[in-house]
Structure 1
Amino acid sequence: MIIPASLAKPVFGLARWIWGLIVLAVLVLLGWWVVATLIGGSTAKTEAKLGSNQTKAALESGADAVGTIGTQGAAEDTIDATTSENANAIRSAPGADTPVPAAVDAVGRERLCKRAAYRVRPECLQHAPAD
């Protein structure tokens, strides 16, 4: 079958136009893919580095917190031990058995009972601990 020339040109022209759009679309998609690959790779590297830095900072912060708590606990233990030693030295000093006025004794005991070193003593159980 022979197609008349008047019908062949528009069909052929339409095919060229469609092929042009297809090639243009492929080029646009290829360009988009190249840009996305370059930017995406850079973004992934940046995010990985950021995540690594955040992890490192969190570990350092945790180590600092543990060190601070340990140091504070050791300092409190030292203070409490010193306080107990002082109390024992005072109680065993000459004249320690001399009577003290009741009001002075009550206030002194109340204040001592607020210290961690004395909280467990039977006479301190009736007093509220310090905040």
Structure 2
Amino acid sequence: MILIKNPLTPLAWKLIAGALVVLVVWLLWNSGQRARQREAAARADSAFASARTGAATDANRIQDEALSGRASDEALSRKHADELLQAPGAGQRLDPGLNRAARERLCQRAAYRDRPDCVQLAGGRQPPR
């Protein structure tokens, strides 16, 4: 049997072993770091999606409430107009100044603002809001 002399000294072997240990530790730490980053990104994505869903739900609720409120305001205004037109004396002529003042105030309400008679009363321009 022929023995081949080892060209590396014991110090060189220790340095190589130390470098391998450092490399293994670094690889293990780096893979754990990547996993933590992926986990954090997944949590952030989930939180963002949840917040976006909540915001959309709130926006829909607010819009529905606004539309419902506007519809009930307009229904109430129509009901009041019908009651006024059916009240005793509704067919009698009013004093022109009183009639104009009442119509001007009525035309300031959102339910009546865009009606042709209100636009005409305002001289072709939109009444004040």
**Greater helix fraction, Structure 1 or Structure 2:** 1
Alignment match of 1:24 (pick from 18, 23, 46): 18
Q: Structure 1 length as normaliser, TM-score?
A: 0.74
Larger Rg: 1
How far did 1:123 drift? 0.9
How far did 1:59 drift? 0.4
Of 71-80 and 120-129, more deviation after overlay is shown by 120-129
- The residue number in structure 2 matching 1:34 is 28
Q: Structure 2 length as normaliser, TM-score?
A: 0.75
Alignment match of 1:54 (pick from 30, 38, 48): 48
How far did 1:32 drift? 1.2
Q: Does residue 69 in structure 1 map to residue 63 in structure 2? A: yes
What is the rounded CA distance, in whole Å, between the counterparts of 2:127 and 2:42 in structure 1?
A: 50
Report percent identity of matched pairs. Answer: 28
What is the rounded CA distance, in whole Å, between the counterparts of 2:60 and 2:118 in structure 1?
A: 31
Letter in 1 for 2:38: A
How far did 1:56 drift? 1.2
CA contact (8 A) 1:80 1:117 kept: yes
Number of aligned positions between the proteins: 120
In 2 relative to 1, CA 86–63 (structure 1 residues): closer, same or farther, beyond 3 Å? same
Deviations 1:101-123 (A, max 9, x none): 33332222122223232234221
- Higher relative CO (Cα under 8 Å, sequence separation at least 6) belongs to 1
What is the rounded CA distance, in whole Å, between the counterparts of 1:12 and 1:72 in structure 2?
A: 84
Unaligned runs of 5+ in 2: 1-6
What is the rounded CA distance, in whole Å, between the counterparts of 1:19 and 1:129 in structure 2?
A: 94
